[in-house]
Amino acid sequence: MEHRVTTTIPADLPLQEPVQAERIRRRARSVRTRDAEDRGILGIADRRRTGVRTGSTVINVLLGAALVVTGLLPLLWLAKSAITPTQDTLMMPLRLFPNGVAWSNLERAWNDVHIQNFFWNTIVMAAGSWAVQMVVATTAGYALAVLRPAYGRVLTGLVLATLFVPAVVLLVPLYLTVLHPPLIGHSLINTFWAVWLPAGASAFNVLLVMRFFESLPREVFEAARTDGAGTFRLFWSVVLPMSKPILGVVSIFAINAAWADFLWPNLVLTDIAIQPLSVRLPQIQSSTDLGVYLASLTIATVIPVAIFLVFQRTFLSGAGLGGAVKG
Amino acid sequence: MTTAASRTPRRTPLTWVRRGGLSTLVFLLPMLIVFGVFSWTPIVESVVMSFQHTNLVTTPEFVGWANFAAVLADPTFWIAVRNTAYFAVLALIFGYPLPLIAAVLLSETRRMRGVYSVLAYLPVIILPVVAVLLWKVFYDASPNGVFNTILGWFGIPPQPWIQDATTAMPSLVLQATWAGAGATVIIYLAALRSVPPELYDAAEVDGASIWQKVWHVTLPQLRGILFITLILQITATAQVFLQPFLFTGGGPNNATTTILLLIYQYAFQNSLGGAYGKATALSLMLAVFLAVLSIVYFRITRRWSTE
């Protein structure tokens, strides 16, 4: 379950500012020279001193080595072991293919474990959670920040209040709700809705989108209204197109949270047919040959790592932004 | 007089619809349904259930503070409190200074910054569950385990890692630190980039050394974000679940049973049927504790910040 303990969002913090600041900074980067912009703790004078220069080179090399050992090597080991015979991994885990390569591990992860099914379930789970979160956050943000009904403040307060409740408080009653949902009459357990719908109740998303909508120029809304745009047109053709940056941020948070979640899906998706990777992989560890098991873990890792490497800029600025927003 | 009265039209359902009251409500509907059913109601239910005896068969009956008393009387509860505190303290010692040091060093490397950030963030990208399962293989206690083989290179005897009550918790914290540090590094990196360069220029004019610049410019500039990551880390470690659940299941001999794991066990791994009352009582106690802690923390740090 996603940690909702982001204890404070200072009420007066204009949340859209990091987005704009980043855009301005990026523009500035292309104009100004790197040196002028990159000034950190070490200044030009510091970097000219030979002691500092060798010192910083040594630290850079050590830092790089540490990052390779901690960040890269575990994943390379996983990839290597995915195509190593089980006995070799058990007896000499750090030797490089002492007895040849076992491509069959990957084959069996695909054909016997059916890892692709669980991959697909993960995608469906994340996509649905994303869609529900987007619908709830944008419609609620629009109603509360643009349409502003008289009772809006009360609702905003109620949403804000849930931000201070740790997710664990919801665990049991939410489980019972999903077991016996109101009105529908049958349990949501073992349906994706059990994950999608609770994911939508993210106060963080609603407040983030609300803040952004509040910062949009109201004159544009008035102009659109004068031109005859109704409430729905205003939402779909004016507000949403103006809000792409914040929708991107919410999307990253939403997909990331859904992808990483374990506790809740593990509880409500007990049917193997719809389990995502995070739920299925722990269950196969005891019953699967180690080589095949590691091949399964590798397949589950390769695709997100590839996506990350392609879109690293977006990911890293998004992650930094997360900090800026939370701060 | 009469014009003023007629200008303020009477509020009827029809004028409400015409003014867009209905369409506003339509836009609010997804939120009202989702928050109503999956957030607001469960929060209230959680409080109600903690004072009830619920077994899903008979009608719940109110039992007063009995659930809370039962939790406090459970010896496992006190073990879980101690374990969770132990985890949090170890995570602070291992995990709190590390991302800061890494981020400061990283922000000073110029050419390699991009590559280094990617390397630091890699453990965050992989599925948290996969990260734990991979480390579970690393922690193989046999002399041929991955980590034990590496220790063997340095003449260190094989360690039991997660199979022994004394080494289990530090092993869990080590993995959690590995999995989480990258995200914090990136947050600090973003914060470091927003430190105005003029401050460093000014410090240099005053003849500040590199350490003095770190101490008197960098750290004070990061103070706000450091305060926040500290309380976020404490509240997150107080709710640690993934590592104890997947690595050890709370063992060996309850050495890694955390509060969240205990809540889970009360509710869902109980052979006598879910002790939902006890589970909600304990989760409320945890929530109240964390709320009080956060409030006190922000009171104190606000005083420091405005000094």
- Given its phi and psi angles, is residue A13 left (phi above 0), alpha (psi -120 to 50 degrees) or beta? beta
Closest CB to B187 among A171, A267, A323? A323
Task: Give the mean pLDDT of A295-303.
Answer: 91
Chain B nearest CA to A125, separation (Å): 14
Tell me which DSSP letter residue A271 carries.
S
Task: Give the mean pLDDT of A248-277.
Answer: 91
With CA atoms as reference, report the closest residue to A131 among A306, A314, A254. Answer: A254
Closest residue in A to B275 (Cα–Cα)? A172
Contact A327 B246 (CB under 8 A): no
Q: Does B200 touch chain A (CB under 8 A)?
A: yes
With CA atoms as reference, report the closest residue to A19 among A317, A280, A229. Answer: A317
Task: Give the mean pLDDT of A241-266.
Answer: 89
> What's residue A27's pLDDT?
52
Domain at B66-305, CATH class? mainly alpha
Chain B nearest CA to A199, separation (Å): 9
Q: Does B29 touch chain A (CB under 8 A)?
A: yes
Look up residue B246 and give its amino acid: L
Q: What token pair was written down for B143?
A: 């002399």
Closest CB to B144 among A91, A149, A301? A91
> What's residue A7's pLDDT?
35
> What's residue A26's pLDDT?
54
What DSSP letter does each residue of B234-273 carry, written as one string? HHHHTT--HHIIIIITT-STTTT--HHHHHHHHHHS-TTS
pLDDT band at A321 (very low <50, low <70, confident <90, very high): low
**Domains in chain A, CATH or no CATH each:** 115-287 (1.10.3720.10)
Q: 10 Å Cβ neighbour count for A100?
A: 10
Closest CB to B187 among A91, A177, A322? A322
Q: Each residue of B231-288: pLDDT tens digit?
A: 999 999 999 999 999 999 988 989 999 999 999 999 998 766 778 999 999 999 999 9
pLDDT band at B137 (very low <50, low <70, confident <90, very high): very high
Chain A residues with CB-CB distance to B121 below 8 A = 71, 308, 312, 315-316, 319
> What's residue A191's pLDDT?
94
Determine contact, residues B285/B293, Cβ cutoff 8 Å.
no
Q: Each residue of B143-180: pLDDT tens digit?
A: 889 999 999 999 999 999 999 999 999 999 999 999 99
Q: Each residue of A167-211: pLDDT tens digit?
A: 889 999 999 999 988 888 889 999 999 999 999 999 999 999 999
> What's residue B16's pLDDT?
75
Q: Each residue of A14-35: pLDDT tens digit?
A: 444 455 555 555 555 444 444 4
Its pTM stands at 0.86
Q: What residue spans define the domains of chain B?
A: 2-50, 66-305
With 80 as the cut, is the pLDDT of residue B120 above it?
Answer: yes
Instruction: Indicate the pairing of strand B52-53 with strand B61-62.
Output: antiparallel
Instruction: Give residues 104 to 133 of B whose Cβ lies within 8 Å of A.
Output: 104-110, 112, 114-130, 133
Distance CA B269, CA B250 (A): 12
**C-alpha A267, offset from chain centre:** 21
Chain B residues with CB-CB distance to A56 below 8 A = 108-109
Task: Give the mean pLDDT of B77-97.
Answer: 94
Closest CB to B235 among A5, A143, A169? A5
Q: Average pLDDT of chain A?
A: 84
Look up residue B60 and give its amino acid: P
Determine contact, residues A178/A198, Cβ cutoff 8 Å.
yes
Distance CA B106, CA B124 (A): 17
ipTM of the shown complex: 0.87
